[in-house]
Amino acid sequence: MIVNIKVKPQSRKQEIVKVNCNEYIVSLKSAPEDNKANMELLKLLKKYFKVEVQDIKIIKGKASKNKLVKIG
């Protein structure tokens, strides 16, 4: 499954909001530096989709707020 994710770094809380079937808004506490936000994103997606971290891959947008992520 490939999903579009809009990341909101440095938020007060962590949450995943489903916009439609393949689009999500994810709020992260981490700052977008030294890959911290991407690592937090992977951990949150792991819990949300109940998969292993190695089953999640950021295809496009590693340095962007808009990401294309492959899950599974």
Q: Domain with 24 in it: what CATH number?
A: 3.30.1200.10
* pLDDT at residue 42, as a whole number: 95
Domain total for the chain? Answer: 1
* pLDDT at residue 11, as a whole number: 96
Residues spanned by the domain of 13: 2-71
* pLDDT at residue 57, as a whole number: 96
Residue 40 CA to residue 46 CA, distance in Å, equals 10
**Token couple for 2:** 């490939």
Residue 55 CA to residue 21 CA, distance in Å, equals 19
Residue 63 CA to residue 72 CA, distance in Å, equals 22
Backbone angles phi, psi at 5, to 5 degrees: -130, 130
Residue 27 CA to residue 31 CA, distance in Å, equals 11
Residue at token pair 């496009």: 60
Mean pLDDT, 10 residues at a time, over the chain (72 residues)?
Answer: 96 96 96 93 96 95 96 92
> What pTM value is reported for the model?
0.92
